[in-house]
Amino acid sequence: MNINYKKSLKLITLLISSLLIATVSAAAYVTLQWTSTGTVVANPKVCFIKWSDGSKQNTFDYAVNIFPSVKTIDENITYGICSWDVSAHTVSMCITSITNQATNIQSITTYVKLSGTTKATLTYTSGDSLPTAEQSFSADPGNYTIWTEITAKSGATGSSVITYQLKVQSP
């Protein structure tokens, strides 16, 4: 029997090279993996606060009776915004939904105020898509009031519920 050492050596070299490449690839794969964790904060340092009981939420519903062709103005609705941290936070607010919007609502203008100064203004006009564009503002420490003006359509009936949402960057 004649053994060809050159062919055997090439085969062994090829096998060892394949094992080395697989080992380096596995090591590179393990090296490139990482773990990322996040923490969900139920009520960050800036959130909606229900005036009647002090409960905190990131969204809330505001129910309003609608009267045809009438503008309803509420200077301090059932919720406000509370910022209890010592530093300011960037927040954004929007209207996510409105019940009976097609038949009842002509327009909504909502103002976020701190000590009488308007910090943000949200607007919705009949036909606009929901959610509305987010309005960002810097929330300094304090309690903010929410003022809303709702103009009903001429054929409006019953009531509508407006859902507001607040998002906080770096809660």
- Fold (CATH) for 46-168: Jelly Rolls (2.60.120)
- Burial string for 101-115 (b: 16+ CB within 10 Å, else e) reads beebbbebbbbbbbe
In whole angstroms, give the CA distance from residue 134 to residue 119.
13
CB atoms within 10 A of CB 99: 15
What is the predicted pLDDT for the residue at 18?
Answer: 67
In whole angstroms, give the CA distance from residue 77 to residue 112.
11
pTM: 0.73
CB atoms within 10 A of CB 166: 21
Q: Which two tokens stand for residue 63?
A: 């129910």
Q: Where do the domains of the chain lie?
A: 1-34, 46-168
What is the predicted pLDDT for the residue at 131?
Answer: 94
Q: Going residue by residue through the chain (171 aa), what tens digit of pLDDT does each one get?
A: 565 656 666 767 766 766 666 555 555 455 555 566 655 556 678 999 999 999 999 999 999 999 999 999 999 999 999 998 888 889 999 999 999 988 999 999 999 999 999 999 999 999 899 999 999 999 999 999 999 999 999 999 989 999 999 998 765
